[in-house]
C-alpha cells in the first residue's frame, strides 16, 4: 500500500501542476506565457558564403526551440520572434609550428540574434553568438566543412535556446 501511494504522489503533483496552468519542460525551459515561436530566415551576410549555411542554421534553431520547449512554430505573429543574420563565417590559422607552417585551422561562425518577446518585453535581447571548430591544416576545408558547420549550428542553436528560455 505504501509503495502504491508513493508511486501516485508524483503523478498527482504533475496533474495538479497541469491543472493550474503551469507549463514545465523537462529541458528546464521557461517560455512564460508564450505559446508560439517564429524564426525568420537568417541571411548569410558574412564575407565567406556557404550556400547551405543560412538554411542549415535557421532550420536547426527552429528544431531546437520546438523540440526542447512547449512552443509551437508559427509562420508570423508569434509570441516569440527570433530574427538576425549570420555576420561572420571565416577560416583562420591556428597553432603555428617551428617550420613556419600552421598545424590547425579554425572555422568560426558568428550569428547576431534578436529576440522580440511579445508576452514579456523584459526578456527581449540582441546578442552575438560564436562557435568555432579547429581542424588539421592538412585537410582541405571542403572535406570537413559540412560536418563542422552542422556541429556549430547545433551548438549555436543550443546557446540561443539557453539564453532565451533557460533562466539559470
Residue pair 29/161 in contact by the 8 Å Cβ criterion: yes
Check whether 132 has a pLDDT greater than 60.
Answer: yes
Residue 15: which residues within 8 A CB-CB, separation 6 or more?
none
CATH fold for domain 29-165? Double Stranded RNA Binding Domain (3.30.160)
- Distance, in Å, from the CA atom of 139 to the CA atom of 141, rounded to the nearest integer, reads 6
Q: What percent of the chain has pLDDT over 70?
A: 80
> Domain map of the chain by residue range?
29-165
Mean pLDDT of the chain: 85
pLDDT in tens, 62-108: 999 999 999 999 999 999 999 999 999 999 988 776 676 778 999 99
Amino acid at each position: 500500500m505504501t509503495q502504491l501511494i508513493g508511486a501516485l504522489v508524483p503523478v498527482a503533483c504533475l496533474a495538479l501542476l497541469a491543472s493550474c496552468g503551469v507549463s514545465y519542460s523537462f529541458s528546464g525551459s521557461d517560455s512564460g506565457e508564450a505559446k508560439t515561436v517564429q524564426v525568420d530566415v537568417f541571411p548569410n551576410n558574412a564575407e565567406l558564403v556557404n550556400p547551405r549555411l543560412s538554411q542549415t542554421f535557421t532550420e536547426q534553431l527552429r528544431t531546437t526551440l520546438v523540440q526542447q520547449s512547449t512552443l509551437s512554430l508559427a509562420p508570423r505573429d508569434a509570441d516569440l520572434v527570433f530574427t538576425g543574420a549570420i555576420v561572420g563565417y571565416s577560416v583562420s590559422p591556428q597553432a603555428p609550428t617551428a617550420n613556419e607552417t600552421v598545424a590547425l585551422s579554425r572555422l568560426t561562425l558568428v550569428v547576431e540574434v534578436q529576440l522580440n518577446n511579445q508576452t514579456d518585453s523584459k526578456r527581449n535581447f540582441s546578442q552575438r553568438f560564436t562557435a568555432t571548430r579547429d581542424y588539421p591544416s592538412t585537410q582541405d576545408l571542403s572535406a570537413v566543412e559540412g560536418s563542422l558547420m552542422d556541429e556549430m549550428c547545433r551548438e549555436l542553436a543550443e546557446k540561443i535556446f539557453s539564453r532565451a528560455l533557460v533562466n539559470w
